[in-house]
Amino acid sequence: MALDASAMLGASQLAGATVSNRGFVAAESMRNTPAAGPIAGAVGAAAQTYIERHQKGKAAQTPAFKGSAFIAVTESEIALIQLKSGLVSRKLDRVLARRARAEVASAQLAEAKTVSPLTIAFTDDSSWEFDVPLIAKSAAREVVRSLTA
């Protein structure tokens, strides 16, 4: 069953997707994989991007969260919601951050085979950056479409 944050946000959800912190999926894979060589290369590339952004002063201001979160889009806002893992499924836990849709300058989902970076830039030059697992990529495309339409 798909997650729906409508009741929590007080407005109909137009789109939503499960996301992770940038680098979280690769770090978990590296920790749980005996042959971590290729993954270490991916982590190194992600670290290089992080370093370059900090050097340029354009680091993402993604709200902090543990594990996975959910991006929900309504007619008037975008929200980041912490997910709570249950025995069988995930549930929406609490709203971590909310921004008006009018503040969204752009939304981009980079294409990748397993984990795709999602970047949401705001008009104040801040941004949120996430990793989107393969299983949530089509939902993330809907989030991007709804934010850029």
User: What is the pLDDT of the chain when averaged over all its residues?
Assistant: 83
Query: Do the domain assignments include residue 68?
Result: yes
Rounded Cα–Cα distance for residues 95 and 82 (Å): 6
The pLDDT assigned to 55 comes to: 46
The pLDDT assigned to 149 comes to: 82
Give the domain range for residue 64. 6-22+60-148
Half-sphere exposure of 48 (CA within 13 A, CB side): 6
Query: Do the domain assignments include residue 108?
Result: yes
Query: Do the domain assignments include residue 33?
Result: no
Q: What is the pLDDT of residues 28-79, one digit of tens each?
A: 444 445 555 555 555 555 555 555 555 454 556 899 999 899 999 999 999 9
Number of domains comprising the chain: 1
The pLDDT assigned to 83 comes to: 95
Q: Which domain CATH number covers 141?
A: 2.30.29.30
Name the pairing type of β-strands 68-74 and 77-85.
antiparallel
Query: Do the domain assignments include residue 141?
Result: yes
Query: Do the domain assignments include residue 41?
Result: no
Query: Do the domain assignments include residue 82?
Result: yes
What's the Cα-to-Cα distance from 97 to each of 5, 9, 80, 108, rounded to whole Å?
A: 13, 11, 5, 19
User: For residue 117, which of 29, 13, 25, 2 has the smallest C-alpha distance?
Assistant: 25
